[in-house]
A and B are shown apart, each in its own frame.
Chain A
């Protein structure tokens, strides 16, 4: 399958932070909906989330994945069966069986 975009880059912006979104491939479903594939990474100065497939809504600034996902922040790691980012990155929801490891 041909990719609409190679190495796509987007951002989620809210008042407090910017989350940079990168992947190896991207395919447009509609004007604002993009499927991001392979090494999809959401990166802010506080955390990163990685997955292999994410549905990204550039207009509404949301993202959703049903693939195995990993969240990493300082001394914190979350592994889950997917995630949803809403409220411009303020609210992050991890779905399915989820494990949170905290080191202090």
Chain B
């Protein structure tokens, strides 16, 4: 009897499981089909489940290509959560998702995206192309964390590379009218603008530069940091002509 019950449960589970090629969409308040404009309007408590991704939101526009079954793009609004088979978890007030090329744009306050070791946050927008690795973050409370790297600034652009299943920042451009911050476990950097290249093991800092490392604080207008050799070169522009090094003797 027990064996029969187990067999029944296993069969039931298989029947309930989604077909590999099947997408299931449920809504509480219906679906409108706009055949000329080629989209479905899905209303209230929308849940989309497919083998590649799942999404929940309150309103969704699902665009199709030639036929009704060929969904290519999703625009979703209000308390959106998107989880992809590739490990992406995105949350926000609006999420635009291009299915074919895995381009994701998240808009609104408390936007977030977690992608295999990378975490991105913003109150304005997060844009990511999961195929090329390109990302763009904009606005207040914008933050990127990856391994021991923490980055804040109004503009964060860059590329990531997938290395052994973990996404690592390959290049980075950070800018903020007030101040950007790049922090690792060994060094804490402030400036108005920065470039990072993993390939060249180089961080460049521009304008109002402040670097804190162990007991020293270095202040200047431009800095070059070799992340491999852990060397720092700070210079000043001609107007200030000053580089300050402050040593903290507290310890």
Interface size for A (C-beta < 8 A) is 22
Q: Which of B19, B22, B32 contacts A91 (CB 8 A)?
A: B32
**CB closest chain-A residue, reference B18:** A101
Chain A residues, Cβ within 8 Å of B30: 80, 93-96, 98
Kindly specify which of B34-42, B110-118, B135-143 makes contact with the partner chain. Answer: B34-42
Q: Which of B26, B40, B42 contacts A97 (CB 8 A)?
A: B26
Q: Which of A92, A96, A103 contacts B69 (CB 8 A)?
A: A103
Residue pairs across A and B with CB atoms within 8 Å: the count is 78
Given contacts A75-B69, A91-B35, contact A100 B29 (CB under 8 A): no
Chain A residues, Cβ within 8 Å of B34: 90-91
Which B residues between 1 and 53 are near A, CB-CB below 8 angstroms? Answer: 19, 21-36, 40, 42
A104 to B65, CA, bound (A): 13
Give the Cβ gap from B180 to chain A, nearest Cβ, in Å: 44
Q: Is the CB of B67 within 8 A of A100?
A: no
A interface residues (Cβ-Cβ under 8 A, vs B): 47, 73-76, 78, 80, 90-104
B interface residues (Cβ-Cβ under 8 A, vs A): 19, 21-36, 40, 42, 67-71
* Shortest beta-carbon contacts, A-B, top 10: A75-B69, A100-B25, A102-B23, A93-B32, A76-B68, A95-B30, A102-B69, A94-B31, A92-B33, A76-B69
